[in-house]
Amino acid sequence: MSSIAIYDTTLRDGMQAEGVSFSLEDKLSIARCLDNLGVHYIEGGYAASNQKEMQFFEEVAKLGLSHAKIAAFGSTRRADRTVQDDASLNSILACKTPAATLVGKTWDLHVTTVLGCSLDDNLTICADSIRYLKGKGMEAIFDAEHFFDGYKENPEYALKVLAAAAEAGADALVLCDTNGGSLPEQVFEITGAVCKALGPVTIGIHTHNDVDCATASSLAAIRAGARHVQGTINGIGERTGNANLCAVVPNLTLKMGYETLTPEKIKMLTEVSRFVFEVANMAPVMNLPYVGESAFAHKAGLHVDALRKSKRTYEHIDPALVGNERRFLISELSGKSNILAELEKAKIGQDKALAKKVLARVQELENEGYQFEAATASFDLLVKKIMGTFKPSFELIKYHVDVEKRKTGELVTEATVKLKVGEEIEHVVGEGDGPVNALDAALRKSLEIFYPSIRDVHLFDYKVRVVNAKEGTAARVRVVIESRDKHAIWGTVGVSENVIEASWLALVDSVEYKLQQLQI
Which residues of the chain does CATH 3.20.20.70 include? 5-279
pLDDT tens digits for 250-286? 999 999 999 999 999 999 999 999 999 988 988 889 8
Q: Distance of CA 302 to CAs 371, 423, 488, Å?
A: 20, 49, 30
Predicted pLDDT of residue 459: 85
| Spatial separation of the C-alpha atoms in residues 298 and 288, rounded to whole Å | 15
In the chain, list all ranges with CATH 4.10.430.
297-357
Q: Report CA torsion sign: 59, 61, 64, 69.
A: positive
Q: Which of 91-105, 164-178, 269-283 has the lowest mean pLDDT?
A: 269-283
Average pLDDT of the residues in 453-475 = 79
Residue type, 119: L
Q: How many CA atoms lie within 13 A of 445 on its CB side?
A: 17
Contact 475, 464 (CB under 8 A): no
Looking at domain 395-519, its CATH superfamily turns out to be Alpha-isopropylmalate synthase LeuA, regulatory domain (3.30.160.270)
Pick from 375, 392, 315, 328: which is nearest to 355 by CA?
328
| 464, 479 contact by CB (below 8 A) | yes
Residues of the chain with CATH 3.30.160.270: 395-519
Buried b (16+ CB within 10 A) or exposed e, 275-301: bbbebbeeeebeebbbbbbbbbbbbbb
CA 284 → CA 207, 278, 500, distances in Å?
22, 8, 27
5-279: CATH topology is TIM Barrel (3.20.20)
H or E, element range at 223: helix 214-224
pLDDT at 134: 96
Note the CATH number of domain 297-357: 4.10.430
Q: Which residues pair with 100 in a beta bridge?
A: 72, 140
pTM score above 0.85: no
Query: Which of 262, 289, 291, 260 lies closest to 275, judged by CA?
Result: 291
Of 223, 275, 285, 210, nearest in space to 251 by CA: 223
What are the Cα distances from residue 296, in Å, to 226, 236, 292, 372? 31, 22, 8, 17
In this prediction, what percent of the chain has a pLDDT beyond 70?
A: 94
Specify burial of residue 50 (Cβ count, 10 A radius: 0-12, 13-18, 19+). exposed
pLDDT at 34 over 70: yes
At 304 the pLDDT is 67
